[in-house]
Structure 1
Amino acid sequence: MSSPSIGKSILLAKCPKCRKGEIFSVSLYSYYKLTDIKKRCDVCAANLLPEPDFYYGAMYISYAFSVALFINVMIVLNVFFDDPELWVYIVSVVGANILLLPFMQRYSKVLYLYGLGKLKYSPPYNQQG
């Protein structure tokens, strides 16, 4: 059995230690408690909340996502619509942020956990059924 890749594990929001357990208690399509993280992984029992307020640092990643989205929306509007009016920029940027906010918040926490969570991949968990 091949080990799951880190990219696929991040995309599917899996535990960094076993890459099988879920990080979040609800699915991405559920807006009820969308960004609540489990305390422990169901598969390997890794601590997904290393310290109180650990995920406050994920706000920086979420901010970077918002800035990147803003820049991309501005580029698309300028290229395809030949410099539209100001209200089009505002509505487009606000609409895109509202639409993608759940994704940006969730994946900022996943990236923060993978980057600074000090949980390293441990292959024996991958071989469990």
Structure 2
Amino acid sequence: MLKKGSKLNSILTGSCPTCQEESMYLDKNPYNVTNVYKMHENCSHCGTKYKMEPSFFYGAMYVSYALGIAFGVAAFVITYFFIGEQSLITNFIIIIATLVVFMPVIMRLSRNIWINMFISYDKDWEKHKDEKKPTLR
């Protein structure tokens, strides 16, 4: 469905940004909230280190904020224009419910987007596996 090697594939599947062979997360289900942030240290296929530095994923908070706004606006547009609900209180409740329901997905997507901003797909990752070169662009 999604072409291997594209950033969109890595972002939506949560796979390693370098080789896209395995999931970065210990539990693929984002709704298992106790494990939503638990990640492998390295990719078992290409050896990419996911946490390149301490507090690397703090930057994902900014991405999470933008995704939250996008989900909230989408919930409002669907409720107001397509369903025809005119009450602002009802729209507000639906926006809050949408953000709560999709919170684990937003958290995972924000991490996936953040790491894919810094690491690119390498189609020749097998050749470069043993080299000691940085994976950042």
Q: What interval of TM-score do these two structures reach, taking the shorter chain for normalisation?
A: 0.7 to 0.9
Aligned to 1:4: 4
Residues 1-129 of structure 1 mapped to structure 2, 5 A cutoff: 4-6=4-6, 7-28=8-29, 29-116=31-118, 118-125=119-126
Q: Which residues of structure 2 form unaligned runs of 5+?
A: 128-137
Q: d(CA) in 2 for partners of 1:17 and 1:108?
A: 17
Q: Which is worse superposed, 80-89 or 53-62?
A: 80-89
Contact 2:17 2:120 (C-alpha < 8 Å) held by counterparts:
yes
Contact 1:22 1:42 in 2 (8 A): no
Taking the aligned partners of 1:39 and 1:51, their CA distance within structure 2 comes to 11
Does the Cα contact within 8 Å between 1:21 and 1:44 map onto a contact in 2? no
| TM-score scaled by length of structure 2 | 0.79
Q: Which sits farther off after the overlay, 22-31 or 45-54?
A: 22-31
Q: Distance in 1 between matches of 2:126 and 2:22?
A: 10
- 1:82-121 CA-to-partner distances (Å, cap 9, x unmatched) read 45223202210111001111111001001100102x4552
| CA 56–90 in structure 1, closer or farther in 2 if over 3 Å, else same | same
Gaps of 5+ in 1: none
Count of paired positions: 123
RMSD of aligned C-alpha atoms?
2.1
Matched to 1:14, the amino acid is S
C-alpha deviation, 1:69, in angstroms: 1.3
Q: Provide TM-score, normalisation by structure 1.
A: 0.83
Cα contact 2:19–2:122 (8 A) shared by 1:
yes
Percent of matched pairs sharing the same residue? 21
What is the deviation of 1:63? 0.4
